[in-house]
Amino acid sequence: MIMLENRLLNLKRERQNPFWGRTREGLSAVISVKLAEPQFEGQTKSKLGNPEIRNQTDSVVAQAVQLFWKITPLMHER
């Protein structure tokens, strides 16, 4: 998710729109990924530790967010 957050920050800088900061604070997602051998970080196992899966999910989510903003331009121009 760090890569996704960085991409959103870059989009925010490009557009110079204060809405992006408020939106980023409210973004959350639940993603279901099935792995044969999942690795977790921390004792609570709340964060997936497989870097290859994290990179793929970051990429897919970033593309989905960008597509959403292209489809609904009026929402983020307020």
pLDDT for 2-51, tens place per residue?
666 666 666 655 555 555 566 666 667 777 888 888 888 888 877 788 88
**Residue 73 banded pLDDT, cuts 50, 70, 90:** low
b (16+ CB within 10 A) / e for 30-49: eeeeeeeeeeeeeeeeeebe
Residue 56 in any domain: the answer is: yes
Domain assignment present for residue 35? The answer is no
Residues 55 and 44: their CA atoms lie apart, in Å, by 21
77: pLDDT strictly greater than 60: no
| The predicted structure's pLDDT at residue 56 | 86
Domain count, the chain: 1
pLDDT of residue 6: 64
Both tokens assigned to 62: 């970033």
Q: What is the pLDDT of residue 12?
A: 55
Residue 65 lies in a domain: yes
61 is in which domain, residue-wise? Answer: 1-7+46-78
Q: What's this model's pTM, rounded to 2 decimal places? A: 0.50
